[in-house]
Chains A and B, each alone.
Chain A
Amino acid sequence: MKQQFLKAARDLTSNPKKTLLVVFALILGIWGAGMVQVSYVLLMHDLQANYQRTAPAHLVFSSPDFEKLNLEQFRGKPDIETAEFRDFSLHRIEVRPDVWIPLWLYGVENFNDMKLARFFREEGKKVPLRNTILSWPVKSGNWVFSKQ
């Protein structure tokens, strides 16, 4: 093995700039591959955690007249952990002249005690004031609850 090691050693030292470049490229490559791997692991973990945190509903019943539904009947079933109402209506809003986007509005029974299909605020007031809507005013550029 002596001559083979000698060749490898001489190849590395005969052109230090090239060797450094190769070493740098290797480090960059390993770092890049490591970053992708770490990101993947973190992302998978976070996605899993977030998914479980939101407690998505396993079954959705929709009804045009759900005030007549008796939630207690559902809650009383042995295989059902919990059940909640969500008022839902579909609208559209004009964000710029002649530019319309769909708006899905969900009503929640109790913002402070959501057990299913939970969502979390990123900023602003946790419970919006009555008769307000989350909107994106052009001037401030931030989501705010503003009066309807």
Chain B
Amino acid sequence: MASSQRVQYTTMITLKGVTKVFQTKERSFTALNNINLTIEKGEYVAIVGKSGSGKSTLLNMITGIDHPTEDIIRLNDTDIGHMNESELAAWRGRNIGIVFQFFQLIPTLTILENILLAMELVNTIPKAERMNRANDLLQRVGIPEQASKMPASLSGGEQQRAAIARSLANNPAILVADEPTGNSDSKTAESIKSIVSSLAKAGKTVLVVTHEKDNASPYDRTITILDGAIVAQETKGGAL
């Protein structure tokens, strides 16, 4: 989506002065320093940075997996900065789909059961619809024939597709992917990027964390983070 179209967006994610300091006995380490960021509904955003730059910490703040030291974090009009753990877990399950670099599929459940479990835990999809929805999602990511297999019997790319299907189980408004292609060969990486891009085009707000800039960037906006601070933002139309 071109930057000129962003005027029609509504704000989905707001971060104001988000700072995260990790304290050890010897020293304190500022992983994020006064991050101000707004992401619009339906935007496809990449957060780019080298290892240790703070991009995963930023993602953990947005998903509520970690708490900032100082913050205002609003997602879809909800202030998540002051929720307790159980409130956050329930909110996260309903509103955010997360794709991890190492899939995090439950090894003792089949691919289909992994997706059904996500629905069962959040309990927003009616029971009668769950099986059809899980099969549809597997169809959507291109692995319907793997439904009854255990994760260990699938290739890395197939596992990541399954993880994407699971992340969509509860139809979240926001999809967050932490290095989703970091563990894949180039061909698999392309197919996963293609799936994620199609989700963005379908209207999901998508955040992808990656350690390298994509020359053929499919993103509406690329945010570069260095030493815990945003150092550059580029849209398809050019630098902001």
Q: Which residues in A have some Cβ–Cβ distance to B below 8 Å?
A: 1-4, 6-7, 10-11, 14
Q: What's the least CB distance linking B150 to chain A, in Å?
A: 10
- List the B side residues contacting A1 at CB < 8 Å: 120
B117 contacts A by Cβ under 8 Å: yes
Which of chain A's residues have a CB closer than 8 A to the CB of B109?
A: 3, 6-7, 10
**Chain B residues positioned under 8 Å from A11 (CB to CB):** 108
CB proximity to A under 8 Å, residues B89-109: 106, 108-109
B89 smallest CB distance to A (angstroms): 15
B96 to chain A, nearest CB (A): 20
Contacts of B108 in A (CB 8 A): 7, 10-11, 14
Binding site for A on B (CB under 8 A): 106, 108-109, 113, 116-117, 120-121
Interface residues of chain A: helix, strand, loop or mixed (majority): helix
Return B59 CB to nearest CB of chain A, in Å: 26
Chain B residues within 8 Å of A4, by CB: 117, 120-121
Which residues of the partner chain A approach B121 to less than 8 Å between Cβ atoms?
A: 4
Closest 6 CB pairs of A and B: A10-B108, A3-B117, A3-B120, A3-B116, A14-B108, A11-B108
Cα distance A4–B119 in the bound complex, in angstroms = 11
17 A-B residue contacts at CB 8 Å? A2-B116, A2-B120, A3-B109, A3-B116, A3-B117, A4-B117, A4-B120, A4-B121, A6-B113, A7-B108, A7-B109, A7-B113, A7-B117, A10-B108, A10-B109, A11-B108, A14-B108
B44 to chain A, nearest CB (A): 31
Residues of B within 8 A of A14 (CB): 108
- A6 neighbours in B (Cβ, 8 Å): 109, 113
Q: Note all chain A residues with C-beta closer than 8 A to B106.
A: 7
Rounded to whole angstroms, the CA-CA distance of A4 and B117 in the bound complex is 7
Quote the shortest CB–CB distance from B112 to chain A (angstroms): 10
Cα separation A67 to B135 with both chains bound (whole Å): 102
Q: How far is the CB of B152 from chain A (nearest CB, A)?
A: 11
Q: Using Cβ atoms and an 8 Å threshold, which residues of chain A touch B116?
A: 2-3
Instruction: Report how far A4 CA is from B122 CA in the complex, Å.
Output: 12
The complex places the Cα of A82 from the Cα of B34 at a distance, in Å, of 82
Q: Nearest Cβ in chain B — how far from A18, in angstroms?
A: 12
Min CB–CB distance B122 → chain A (angstroms): 12
**Smallest distance from the beta carbon of A116 to chain B beta carbons, Å?**
61
Q: Considering the complex, give the chain B residue whose CB is closest to the CB of A10.
A: B108
CA distance A6 to B110 in the complex (A): 10
Chain B residues whose C-beta falls within 8 Å of the C-beta of A3 in the assembled complex: 109, 113, 116-117, 120
* Bound: A2/B131 CA distance, A: 13
